[in-house]
Chains A and B, each alone.
Chain A
Amino acid sequence: MRFAGIDIGSRTIELVVLNDGELIEAKKTDTGFDPMAQAKALIAGTQYDRVMATGYGRHLFELSYDAPTVTEIKAYAVGAHALFPGVRTVLDIGGQDSKAIAVGKEGKVIKFEMNDRCAAGTGKFLEIMAKTLGYSLDEFGPKALEGHKDIQISNMCTVFAESEVTSLLAKGEDRQDIALGLHRSVVRRAAGMLKRISGEEPIVFAGGVAKNVCMRRLLEETLGRIITVPEDPQMVGAFGAALLAQKGGS
């Protein structure tokens, strides 16, 4: 039997297919402005017996495909637990949400924290800041690691932080240093969320932002704990949804 999981996020959509428990397909695409069209294109041609949807677009998908849904909170907990049995904490920073999840035995959600309505401290924040500093998203993390000066960025609001960055540039600050300061501010926020759910080890960091090497390094420094990042951190939600489809229900 083939079970699929689809994670329709604000920035990317991921699809994972399991055949008798074995991962046989994993692919992703950008969400763009028409999430359902993108999701349909991604899943077209894929063979599966049952599919479960997660992420922001899950209810939209549910309408078109009559598929069961699960929140990304549970999907990430289940996915991370399957990849790293014994995981106690999952940090998921995606395009417009960040979540810290305390995980119990069998991947159960014990407690979670989620950011408020705005995109402060999420992938979208980093994306816009990278652009303001003239970096591509891929080089943003490595370049930030080259920074050495401690610049405090106090605004977490994307709009205000952007003007703060502009004024720092006008003051003649190096952009690597500003990049480092921006990463620090996102990490402070994530660390705060982790502390509120107690954030016990082992900690798995997933979602698109986990691909950023500077975020990983700073998180470990700030928490004084080891952070594990899955091989493809963006796939964890879709993987968890596929596992739940296999289990037969949410």
Chain B
Amino acid sequence: MSEKYTKMWEALGLDISAHDGLLKVLGQFYGDIYLSQDKRLKGMEYMDFVLSEVHGLRIQELQEAKAAGRKIVGTFCVFVPEELVWAANGICVGLCAGAEIGKESAEKILPRNTCALIKSFVGFKLSKLCPYIESCDLVVGETTCDGKKKAYEIFEEYVPLHVMELPQMKRDVDRDLFKGEVLRFKGKIEEITGQEITASRLKEAIRLINNRRRVLQRLNKLRAASPSPISGRDALLINQISFYDDPPRFTKNIEALCDELEKRVAAGEGIVQKGVPRLMMSGCPMAVPNWKLPFVVESSGAVIVGEESCIGTRNTRDLVDEGGQSVDEMIDAIVDRYMRIDCACFTPNPERLDHIVDMAKELKADGVIHYALQFCHPYTVEAYKVEKALEKANIPLLKIETDYSMEDVEQLKTRVEAFVEQVKQ
């Protein structure tokens, strides 16, 4: 896609030669991990196209929207109520942070033992390699963990930033705090867009985002079929792309893909043979292009049937109630929906344990792989409780702690292969 977009990238201030290198590596990586798969779905052609244009066509669309007066809001967390952005005629994009990019520059301002995701978003910005960040009129941070919270204080020097405070517990007083933050965010969005968020616009935005969640719910349900009709890698990619693609277009294309999957399931066909071990991933989000562990798992004779993660069911499980008529009612519905998110940043967080066990049963998973980024305390610590809950349910678990680098791939392979042997016997 390079030359066609070079002018646009220059205008955004990207480091063109480093960016060319990034796209080249990404292309090779995608070819090895995605395009090499057998029995690929027709519906995945759309994903291949979207990914091949990840820094091209979609960025161009954003520039055109900006020229027409729309504002771009970038987020890092599923706690940011994007309905408010769309209701103000803005465009919300999830910023990815899934590659080891600009690590050296990031480590100049962050401690080395900071999680890979934080280093990545700082690194992308400092090395001028992400056209999404560069297109943003506002970047939204949130106080999920200490690492992010403190990193945003520094990040503020580089981007226009709004930080939302998230509660850490789920009592009434915490809901009040969160509601206050949602209202403050609404005010901020109205301020930068110059658009009032009216009841009719908000209603429409709630439906827009719910529809995207519904189609992803439909996709996840289809994966309960045995054999699974789609690879875990493809399903992860779909979830990843849902964060930055145009919502109506995305929903329409995934509906078509689900129709194809339904036919596959009805015919008893799958991406793998029946009897291939079915594993579920649980834990930290895997942002684009972090496909390392899914690729290791699916190259070790298993298929991934679910992602209990922010880039997975944590983002799609709950819908906003569509019954609200006034803005106030709808804000309450939004607050209720987002307060149900079972992120490990909450204490205590028993809902997540129940969700993991229920999901593993529904998807007929033979085992669960708990994936945590190194130095991510919420998830690495909570892994203990996950282990106990799964033990009680008699579901095998493998705990993995890793980052975005490739140096531990061989060790990961040994562990994952041994786990596959274990659940197979």
Interface-facing stretch out of B123-131, B263-271, B313-321, B416-424: B416-424
B410 interfacial by beta-carbon distance below 8 Å: yes
Are B415 and A109 in contact, with the CB atoms below 8 A?
Answer: no
Q: Mark A105-124, 1 if CB is under 8 A from B, else 0.
A: 00011111010110000000
Q: Mark B378-415, 1 if CB is under 8 A from A, else 0.
A: 00000000000000000010000100000110110111
The residue of chain B having its C-beta at the shortest distance from the C-beta of A110 within the complex is: B422
A250 interfacial by beta-carbon distance below 8 Å: yes
Q: Mark B43-84, 1 if CB is under 8 A from A, else 0.
A: 000000000000000000000000000000000000000000
A72 interfacial by beta-carbon distance below 8 Å: yes
A71 interfacial by beta-carbon distance below 8 Å: yes
Contact partner of B421 (CB less than 8 A), chosen from A56, A59, A71, is A71
Are A109 and B408 in contact, with the CB atoms below 8 A?
Answer: no
Chain A contacts for B418, CB-based, 8 A: 71, 73-74, 109, 112, 114
Are A73 and B410 in contact, with the CB atoms below 8 A?
Answer: no
Are B421 and A114 in contact, with the CB atoms below 8 A?
Answer: no
CB of B383 to closest CB in A, whole Å: 12
Chain B contacts for A97, CB-based, 8 A: 411, 414
The residue of chain A having its C-beta at the shortest distance from the C-beta of B411 within the complex is: A117
The residue of chain A having its C-beta at the shortest distance from the C-beta of B425 within the complex is: A108
CA distance A71 to B418 in the complex (A): 6
Residue total for A at the interface (Cβ-Cβ under 8 A)? 17
Q: Mark A214-243, 1 if CB is under 8 A from B, else 0.
A: 000000000000000000000000000000
CB of A221 to closest CB in B, whole Å: 28
Residue total for B at the interface (Cβ-Cβ under 8 A)? 14
CB of A106 to closest CB in B, whole Å: 8
CA distance A190 to B119 in the complex (A): 33
Q: A71-B417, A114-B415 are in contact. Are A56 and B422 (CB under 8 A)?
A: no
The residue of chain A having its C-beta at the shortest distance from the C-beta of B301 within the complex is: A250
Are B411 and A109 in contact, with the CB atoms below 8 A?
Answer: no
Chain B contacts for A73, CB-based, 8 A: 414, 418, 421
Are B408 and A71 in contact, with the CB atoms below 8 A?
Answer: no
Interface residues of A in 93-142 (CB under 8 A from B): 97, 108-112, 114, 116-117
CB of B292 to closest CB in A, whole Å: 14
Are B417 and A56 in contact, with the CB atoms below 8 A?
Answer: no
The residue of chain A having its C-beta at the shortest distance from the C-beta of B424 within the complex is: A250
A194 interfacial by beta-carbon distance below 8 Å: no
Are B410 and A250 in contact, with the CB atoms below 8 A?
Answer: no
Are A114 and B422 in contact, with the CB atoms below 8 A?
Answer: no
Are A70 and B422 in contact, with the CB atoms below 8 A?
Answer: no
Chain A contacts for B421, CB-based, 8 A: 70-71, 73-74, 109, 250
CB of A116 to closest CB in B, whole Å: 8
Chain B contacts for A112, CB-based, 8 A: 418, 422
Are A117 and B414 in contact, with the CB atoms below 8 A?
Answer: no
The residue of chain A having its C-beta at the shortest distance from the C-beta of B414 within the complex is: A71
Chain A contacts for B410, CB-based, 8 A: 56
CB of B186 to closest CB in A, whole Å: 45
CA distance A250 to B417 in the complex (A): 11
The residue of chain B having its C-beta at the shortest distance from the C-beta of A101 within the complex is: B418
CA distance A232 to B215 in the complex (A): 58
The residue of chain A having its C-beta at the shortest distance from the C-beta of B391 within the complex is: A111
CB of A104 to closest CB in B, whole Å: 9
Are B422 and A117 in contact, with the CB atoms below 8 A?
Answer: no
Chain B contacts for A108, CB-based, 8 A: 422, 425
CB of B276 to closest CB in A, whole Å: 14
The residue of chain A having its C-beta at the shortest distance from the C-beta of B410 within the complex is: A56
Chain A contacts for B411, CB-based, 8 A: 97, 114, 116-117
Q: Mark A32-74, 1 if CB is under 8 A from B, else 0.
A: 0000000000000000000000001001000000000011111
CA distance A181 to B415 in the complex (A): 30
Interface residues of B in 192-238 (CB under 8 A from A): none
Chain B contacts for A70, CB-based, 8 A: 421
The residue of chain A having its C-beta at the shortest distance from the C-beta of B421 within the complex is: A74
CB of B34 to closest CB in A, whole Å: 21
Chain A contacts for B415, CB-based, 8 A: 114
Are A72 and B425 in contact, with the CB atoms below 8 A?
Answer: no
The residue of chain B having its C-beta at the shortest distance from the C-beta of A107 within the complex is: B425
CB of A243 to closest CB in B, whole Å: 14
Chain A contacts for B408, CB-based, 8 A: 116-117
The residue of chain B having its C-beta at the shortest distance from the C-beta of A113 within the complex is: B399
The residue of chain B having its C-beta at the shortest distance from the C-beta of A108 within the complex is: B425
CA distance A56 to B418 in the complex (A): 13
A71, A110, A111, A116, most chain B CB atoms within 10 A: A71
CA distance A117 to B412 in the complex (A): 9
Contact partner of A109 (CB less than 8 A), chosen from B407, B413, B425, is B425
CA distance A15 to B257 in the complex (A): 50
CA distance A111 to B419 in the complex (A): 8
Q: Mark B131-146, 1 if CB is under 8 A from A, else 0.
A: 0000000000000000
Contact partner of B414 (CB less than 8 A), chosen from A72, A111, A116, A250, is A72
CA distance A108 to B407 in the complex (A): 30
CA distance A116 to B415 in the complex (A): 10
CB of B122 to closest CB in A, whole Å: 24
Task: Return the 4 tightest CB-CB contacts between A and B, nearest first.
Answer: A73-B418, A71-B418, A117-B408, A109-B422
Q: Could you list 29 A-B pairs, sorted by A, with CB under 8 Å?
A: A56-B410, A56-B414, A59-B413, A70-B421, A71-B414, A71-B417, A71-B421, A72-B414, A73-B418, A73-B421, A74-B418, A74-B421, A74-B422, A97-B414, A108-B425, A109-B418, A109-B421, A109-B422, A109-B425, A111-B396, A112-B418, A112-B422, A114-B414, A114-B418, A116-B408, A116-B411, A117-B408, A117-B411, A250-B421
Other 7 A-B pairs with CB < 8 A, given A56-B410, A116-B401, A117-B407? A73-B418, A73-B421, A97-B411, A109-B421, A109-B422, A114-B411, A250-B421
